[in-house]
Amino acid sequence: MRSSRQLLSSLENAYRESFQRAEAVGDEQEMQRLELDFQRDQVFLSVLLDIRTQLSDIGRSVHPGEPEEPSTLETVERLSGLLGRRFR
């Protein structure tokens, strides 16, 4: 699994290359669009990374008497229980 830093760096590099191309031809509109898209995608990626972290934490949280590695089904059940409490 790639680290958060690697993912954010890849996103930044992709946008930086596109921004430099737009800048080289003087396309101000494209530069503005890319800047806004980059900021939006940073937020989306950060949210997804937070979700990934939360899912990992759920898989690691073990209650006394339970096996150390919960099954995928147990992890999904815990997640649905958490989501159910938040949306009630």
Structure tokens at 43: 């937020």
Give 7-52 as a 3 state SS string: HHHHHHHHHHHHHHHHHHCCCHHHHHHHHHHHHHHHHHHHHHHHHH
Q: List Cα–Cα distances, 49 to 46, 66, 72, 82, in angstroms.
A: 5, 27, 19, 18
Query: Domain map of the chain by residue range?
Result: 4-86
- Distance between CA atoms of 12 and 10, rounded to whole angstroms? 5
More confident residue, 57 or 44: 44
Positive/negative CA dihedral, 22, 26, 27, 29: positive
20 pLDDT band (50/70/90 cuts)? very high
53 pLDDT band (50/70/90 cuts)? confident
**Percent of the chain whose pLDDT exceeds 70:** 72
Query: How confident is the model over 45-62, as a mean pLDDT?
Result: 79
Across the chain, mean pLDDT equals 82
- Distance between CA atoms of 31 and 66, rounded to whole angstroms? 53
46 pLDDT band (50/70/90 cuts)? very high
User: Amino acid identity, residue 10?
Assistant: S
